């Protein structure tokens, strides 16, 4: 059976999480799917991914895209775009490799997308029934502040999305076509802002503690997020500014 779904998993030093993630995906999905690990690791993650491919076939087609250090541009967002270039299925789901995003919710996202006929389904910590249990007090405050800031900057383009900072979402591959320039972790934010006509909805999930390894969130990522907001705001505004300038009389 030809897979209808690609699960994109950006990884960086997640060797201990690969097999548990694949085991839970295999148990949750009722139909064959493709799992693409876009890997920026310096540990044994590539070896573990490659060694798991035969074990989970044919239910899961496991692929590895390992990016050398010189090609690791754009952070997690760049990894997602790299994986998207290799995806051929109608639907693509993006999730972290640390099991903070529950694999059991992947088929729910896909079913909701199909049944409601929407282009984008966001796994939301802030929808009714969702919870944010995997962050400490400080990181929770930073996450909430980032969400408020993003929705303030783009109120119309983020309409209907309560959790634009989520890293867990599913979309129809052909619906995402606008050029993107990812900065760090917030690839959903850029997809939603640059594709305002996407029909979208949210599905609640519980964000939990990571299974193994250490968090990749840093102060540097916060500044990259701010830069992303500025770049997107300017790129969306500049065509209008240019058009206005052409209409103004010259002296």
* Parallel/antiparallel/unpaired status of strands 200-204 and 120-124: parallel
Q: Is the pLDDT of residue 242 over 60?
A: no
- CB crowding 24-38: b at 16 or more within 10 Å, else e: bbbeebeeebbbbbb
Q: Is the pLDDT of residue 66 over 80?
A: yes
Check residue 152 and give its pLDDT: 87
- 5/47 Cα distance (integer angstroms): 24
- 99/17 Cα distance (integer angstroms): 7
65: left (phi over 0), alpha (psi -120 to 50) or beta: beta
Strands (E), the chain: 5-11, 33-39, 60-66, 91-94, 120-124, 131-132, 169-172, 200-204, 206-207
Query: What confidence tens digit (pLDDT) does each residue in 44-63 have?
Result: 999 999 999 999 999 999 99
Q: Is the pLDDT of residue 166 over 60?
A: yes
**Domain limits for position 231:** 5-247
DSSP state of 159: T
CATH classification at residue 210:
3.90.550.10
- 123/108 Cα distance (integer angstroms): 10
How far, in whole angstroms, is CA 88 from its chain's centroid? 17
- 146/88 Cα distance (integer angstroms): 32
Average pLDDT of the residues of the chain: 85
Query: In total, how many domains does the chain have?
Result: 1
Q: Identify the band that residue 218 occupies on the pLDDT scale cut at 50, 70 and 90.
A: low
In degrees and rounded to multiples of 5, residue 171 shows phi and psi of: -145, 160
Check residue 97 and give its pLDDT: 93
For 212-217, what is the mean pLDDT? Answer: 52
For 28-41, what is the mean pLDDT? Answer: 96
């Amino acid at each position: 059976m030809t897979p209808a779904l690609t699960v994109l998993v950006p990884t960086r030093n997640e060797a201990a999480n690969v097999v548990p993630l694949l085991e839970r995906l295999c148990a949750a999905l009722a139909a064959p799917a493709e799992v693409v690990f876009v890997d920026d690791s310096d540990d044994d993650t590539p070896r573990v991914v490659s060694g798991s491919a035969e074990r989970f076939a044919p239910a899961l087609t496991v692929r590895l895209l390992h990016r050398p250090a010189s090609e690791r541009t754009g952070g997690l967002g760049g990894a997602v775009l790299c994986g998207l270039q290799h995806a051929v299925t109608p639907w693509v789901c993006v999730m972290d490799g640390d099991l903070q995003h529950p694999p059991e919710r992947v088929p729910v996202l896909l079913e909701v997308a199909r049944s409601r006929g929407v282009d984008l389904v966001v796994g939301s910590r802030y929808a009714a029934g969702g919870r944010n249990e995997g962050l400490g007090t400080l990181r929770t405050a930073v996450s909430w502040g980032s969400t408020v800031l993003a929705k303030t900057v783009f109120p119309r383009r983020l309409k209907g999305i309560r959790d634009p900072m989520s890293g867990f979402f599913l979309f129809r591959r052909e619906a995402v076509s606008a050029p993107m320039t990812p900065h760090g972790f917030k690839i959903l934010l850029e997809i939603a802002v640059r594709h305002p006509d996407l029909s979208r909805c949210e599905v609640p999930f519980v964000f939990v503690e990571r299974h193994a390894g250490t968090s990749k969130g840093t102060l540097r990522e916060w500044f990259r997020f701010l830069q992303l907001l500025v770049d997107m705001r300017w790129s969306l505004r500049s065509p209008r500014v240019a058009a206005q300038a052409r209409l103004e009389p010259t002296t």
